Amino acid sequence: MDYDVEVLGLKTPASTSPLAPYRLVVSVRNNGIHAAVASGYVRVYSAGLQIFESEVFSNTLAPGVTGDCSSIGYWTPPAEGFYMIQGYVSTPLDQVEPNNNLNPTNVHITGTPPTPPTPVALHAAQHEEGGSDEISIEGLPGRAADQQEALAHVASHQAGGTDALNVGGLLGQLAADQPAQIHSNSRHNPVMTTAAELESHRLSIAAHPAATNLANRNTTGPEIGLVPSTQVALGSEAGVGPRFLRLDRYWGSPVPTGLICLWTDLAPNPTGWTNALPPSMITGYHYIEYSPLNGGGGG
């Protein structure tokens, strides 16, 4: 058909609504093939008596479109209770009269609407640094809009800190000298000789024959030719004790036939040793000569 506006029902207020002013709205649909403007009226009744009336109008509705037809004035319910609303809406040249009526619709007004919340006053300062409700982003995921300056935290990287540094396995050389830590012999490759092993070696006759003793003599300084007692095994040379220093060199004339030894005590000479006439090298030392046949050499 060419022109027809159909009333679908009351849209506002709802069937149960709080006590408040309302612009009454009727939902309508354009069933015609031409654009149409809907208009009419709505009336409100209380206990059978009309208490409100207003004209209603819609915007232009395209064919097949549903829209709102709103009252010009506002209706304010006088009190809580039940109200009946009815009306009539059509369009010029409307060809279907029966669907233009808004059937009587009951509305229950239940009470005063809730008090709107009090607007929150501006309070940004409360959330800023030093405010009573300062915001903290501690532990929150994401990234702050501003670049964050790193706080002083050197202690956390030191020994015992929560983020202690570890240079184990890193390449390069540390700027500061590192004191050696106490460590077992297993840290050395090859394994170092212990003090006990050195003493055992020093006292080993097999490791210190006469030829080895002579090979260990000093080659420079005022004790040239002398062999430190720590290089001489006990018993590796006849009569040699731990306080001797051996030497093989000329001490006066004629040349001694035996080895010359430096004796640091004034105690009696060891068996097989006799006094020699040494040059004056070191005051307080006594030079003696070894004569295995008790008659060999003198100096």
pLDDT reported for residue 221:
62
Encoded tokens for 232: 């001489």
- Specify the higher pLDDT residue, 217 or 126: 126
Q: For residues 292 and 39, what is the distance between their CA atoms, to the nearest angstrom?
A: 151
33-47, 75-89, 189-203, 216-230: least confident range? 216-230
Give the length of the chain.
299
pLDDT reported for residue 224:
57
Asked whether the beta carbons of 156 and 162 are under 8 A apart, the reply is: yes
On the question of pLDDT at 265 being above 60, the answer is no
Widest Cα–Cα separation across the chain: 165
Asked whether the beta carbons of 261 and 241 are under 8 A apart, the reply is: no
Residues 6+ apart with CB under 8 A from 74: 21, 22, 23
- Tell me the CB-side half-sphere exposure of residue 13, using CA atoms within 13 A: 23
Mean pLDDT of 239-255: 38
Residues 6+ apart with CB under 8 A from 284: 264
| Start and end residues for every CATH 2.60.40.10 domain found in the chain | 5-109
Quote the mean pLDDT of the chain: 78
- Specify the higher pLDDT residue, 244 or 196: 196
Helix, strand and coil in the chain, % to nearest 5: 10, 30, 60
pLDDT in tens, 138-172: 888 988 888 888 888 999 999 899 999 998 888 99
pLDDT band for position 19 (cuts 50, 70, 90): very high
Q: For the domain made up of 5-109, give the CATH fold.
A: Immunoglobulin-like (2.60.40)
Q: What is the pTM of this model?
A: 0.41
Residue 154 in 3-state DSSP? helix
pLDDT reported for residue 282:
36
pLDDT reported for residue 61:
96
Encoded tokens for 287: 């030079």
pLDDT in tens, 64-96: 999 999 999 999 999 999 999 999 999 999 999
pLDDT reported for residue 120:
87
On the question of pLDDT at 249 being above 60, the answer is no
- Specify the higher pLDDT residue, 203 or 75: 75
pLDDT reported for residue 244:
40
pLDDT reported for residue 248:
37
Mean pLDDT of 100-122: 89
pLDDT reported for residue 246:
40
pLDDT reported for residue 55:
96
103-117, 159-173, 199-213: least confident range? 199-213
Asked whether the beta carbons of 277 and 286 are under 8 A apart, the reply is: no
Residues 6+ apart with CB under 8 A from 260: 225, 246, 247, 248, 249, 251, 276, 278, 287, 288, 289, 290, 299
Asked whether the beta carbons of 244 and 263 are under 8 A apart, the reply is: yes
Sheet holding 22-30, edge to edge: 5-12, 22-30, 66-75, 49-61, 36-46, 81-90, 101-109, 16-17
pLDDT reported for residue 250:
35
On the question of pLDDT at 210 being above 70, the answer is no
Mean pLDDT of 254-273: 45
Residue 259 in 3-state DSSP? coil
pLDDT reported for residue 292:
40
Counting residues of the chain whose pLDDT is more than 70, the rounded percentage is 69
Place of tokens 């004056």: 280
pLDDT in tens, 52-65: 999 999 999 999 99
